[in-house]
Structure 1
Amino acid sequence: MWIGTLYALAAGLMWGLVFVGPLLLPEYPAALQSVGRYLAFGLIALPLAWMDRAALRRLSRSDWREAVKLVLIGNLLYYLCLASAIQLAGAPLPTMIIGTLPVVIAISANLRDHRRDGRLPWRALLPSLLLIAAGIGCVNHVELQALRADPDADPARYAQGALLAIVAVACWTWYPLRNADWLRAHPDRSPRTWATAQGVATLPLAAAGYGLLWIGMALAGAEFQMPFGPRPWFFIGLMAAIGLFASWLGTTCWNEASQRLPTALAGQLIVFETLAALAYAFALRGQMPGALTLLGIALLIGGVMWAVRIRPEQAVAEVHAS
C-alpha cells in the first residue's frame, strides 16, 4: 500500500509539470504543445521499446488498440483541453477544476469497480472525500477572489477555459479507470512495458497531428513560425523534458501504483498532481501561498493520508454471486 502511494506521489510530482508548459509558452498554440509533447514522448519511447522488445511482442492486437484509445483520450485530447484552458483562463482556474479529479475518480471507481477491488466503505471514505473537497474549496476561494479582482479579466475567456477544463476532467476520469482495467487484468505484465507501449502508440498519432497542424496553419496563412515557433530550442527542450518526465516516467510510476492500489484509492492520490501544480505555479509567480491556500493544502494532504488507511471490503453476497 505504501509503495503504491509513493509511486503515485512521484507520478503527481512529474505530472504537475504539464501545468507549467502553457505558462512558459503562452504564444504557442495549445494544439502544437499537445502534439509536440507527445511527439517527444513517442521518440523517447523508441529506444526504450527496442530494449523492451521481447515484452512488447507479447502484446496482442487488442492490447495495442487499447493503448491507442488510452493515448487518444488520456494524452492528446486531455492535454489539448488542459493547455487551451490554461491559456484562456490562466493556471489557477484549470488547476482547481482538475483538482476535483480525486473526488470524481474515487466515487466513479467505488461505484464501478467494487466487485474487482472490493468496496471502500462509504462511511469510512466520506471523511477523506470531505477533507479533500474542503481543501480544494479553500484553494478555489482564494483563486476566484484573485480572478474577480483582476480588472482585465474576460468572463467569456474564463468560461471557455472552465468548460475545457471540465472536458479535461472527463478525459482523465476515463483514463485511469480504463488503464487500471488493463493493468489489473494483466498482473504478469510490466507497468514499464505498458507505459512504453503507450509511447509507441502515441508516436504516429502525434506525428500525424503535427503534420496536419502545420498544413492547416499554412493554408490559413498563420504568421506562426512552424515547425518549432519563435523560440525553437526552448520549445524543443521543454517538450522533451515534459515528454520524458511527465509522460513516460510519470506514466510508469502511475502504472506501478495502479497495480498495487484499489482504483478508488489511486484516484484520490491524483491529488498529488494538484498539489505539485499549485507549488510550481506559485514558484513561477515568485510568491508564497496565503494562509487559506496553505490550509487547503493541509486539508488535501490530510484527506489523502486518511484514505491510505482504508482497506477495501468484499461483500459476501457479491462473492457468492461471482
Structure 2
Amino acid sequence: MMTRESGGAMLAGIACGVGAGALWGLVFLAPEVVRGFTPLQQAVGRYLAFGALSLILVAPRWRMLAARMTPRLLWALAWLALAGNLFYYVLLVSAVQMGGVAMTSLVVGFLPVAVTIVGSRQAGAVPLRQLAPSLLLCVAGALCIGWQAVVMPGPGPVATRLLGFACAVGALISWTAFAIGNNHWLRRQDDMPAQDWNLLIGLATGCQALLFLPVVLWLGLGRHDAAAWTQFTTVSVAVALLASIVGNALWNRASRLLPLTMVGQMILFETAFALLYGFAWEARWPTGLESAAFLLVVLSVVSCIAAHRRPVAGLVTTA
C-alpha cells in the first residue's frame, strides 16, 4: 500500500503541477495582450529575457555546472530548448492570434493523452487500462471545447482559423516531445537541482534567441510607439519570470515527484487556467459546453489520482 512518505510526495507533486499550470496559463494570454507583435518577435523577446534571468540566477554555481557539461548533455539542452521553448512558442502565439485562446488551449490540452500513453509503457507504470476512465474523460472534455471553439462560428476567415489549428497541432507535437524528453533527462540528472536544470535550458534558449535576433531585425520591427514597446518588454519579462523561471521550476519538481503517466494529467491544469484567463480577458462567462469541459477535466485528474493510489500487482509498496 502507499506509505505516508509516498503519499506526501504525491500531494507535493500535485501542488507543484497545479502551480505550474496556473503560471503557464498566462502564456496563452500574452499573445492577445501584445497582439501587434509577430510570433517570432514575441518568442525572441520572451526567451532573451529568460536567458538573461537564467544567467543571473545560475552565475554563482556556473563553475560547478560547467564541469558537468558533456557533448551529449549540451545537445540535449539544445534540442529541449528549441522544441519546448522557441519552436513551441512561435507555433503557440501563431495559433492564438489566428484561432483564439480557447481553440489553442484545447489542442494543447490533448498533451496529457499523448504523454500518458507513452508513460504507460515504462516499467512499473500504472497499466493503461486503469487509466482508461481518466483518458476518456479528458477526451470528452476536449470534444466539448472543440465543438465550442472549432465547429461553432467564430471570428476570422475559416482558412485563417484552420491555419491556426494546424499551428496548435504543431505546438502539441513540439510540447509532447519536450515533456517526454525533459522528464527523461531530469531523471538521468537526479543529483542536479531541478531549478539548475531549468536555468541551463534557459541559457540554451537565450543563446538560440540571440541567433534568431538578426532574423527579427531583417524582417522589420514594425511601427510601434514607445508605449507599445514598454508593454511588450513588460509582458516578455513577466512571462519569462513567471512561466519560464517559476513555472518550469514547479514543473520540474512535479516531474521528479510524480510518475510520467500522472505528470501528463497535471498538464490539464494549464488548459483550465488558460481558458479562465481567456474568459477574464474577454469579459464573459463560460458557455455550457465550456463549463462541462472544466468539470470533465477535473474528473479526469481526480480519476488519474485514484488510479495511482490503487496497488498494482507485483508492484505493491509496503509500509
TM over 0.5: yes
Measured in 1, the distance between the counterparts of 2:57 and 2:200 equals 9
Aligned to 1:251: 248
Segment of structure 1 superposing worse, 54-63 or 64-73: 54-63
Measured in 2, the distance between the counterparts of 1:142 and 1:245 equals 29
In the TM superposition, residue 144 of structure 1 has moved relative to its aligned partner by 3.3
In the TM superposition, residue 314 of structure 1 has moved relative to its aligned partner by 7.4
Measured in 2, the distance between the counterparts of 1:282 and 1:198 equals 32
- RMSD of aligned alpha carbons: 2.1
Q: Give me the TM-score of the superposition, normalised by structure 2.
A: 0.89
In the TM superposition, residue 309 of structure 1 has moved relative to its aligned partner by 2.5
Aligned to 2:130: 124
- Mapping 1:143-292, distance limit 5 Å: 143-144=149-150, 147-148=152-153, 150=154, 153-215=156-218, 217-218=219-220, 224-225=222-223, 231-292=228-289
Deviations 1:40-76 (A, max 9, x none): 1001111101133254234322222211110011100
- Name the SS of the counterpart of 2:307 in structure 1: coil
Flag structure 2 segments of 5+ consecutive residues without an equivalent: 1-9, 315-319
1:17 aligns with 2:52: no
CA 1:185 to 1:98, structure 2 compared with 1: closer, same or farther past 3 Å? same
TM superposition outliers: structure 1 runs of 4+ over 4 Å: 312-316
Deviations 1:193-219 (A, max 9, x none): 00111111111111121222212x24x
Deviations 1:264-315 (A, max 9, x none): 1101110010001000000001111123321210110111011122238778
Flag structure 1 segments of 5+ consecutive residues without an equivalent: 317-322
Residue number among 26, 38, 45 corresponding to 1:36 in the alignment:
45
Count of aligned pairs between the two proteins: 304
Deviations 1:151-182 (A, max 9, x none): x5311111111111111100011101110111
Aligned to 2:307: 310
Deviations 1:67-87 (A, max 9, x none): 111001110000001101111
Residue number among 2, 13, 16 corresponding to 2:11 in the alignment:
2
Aligned to 1:60: 69
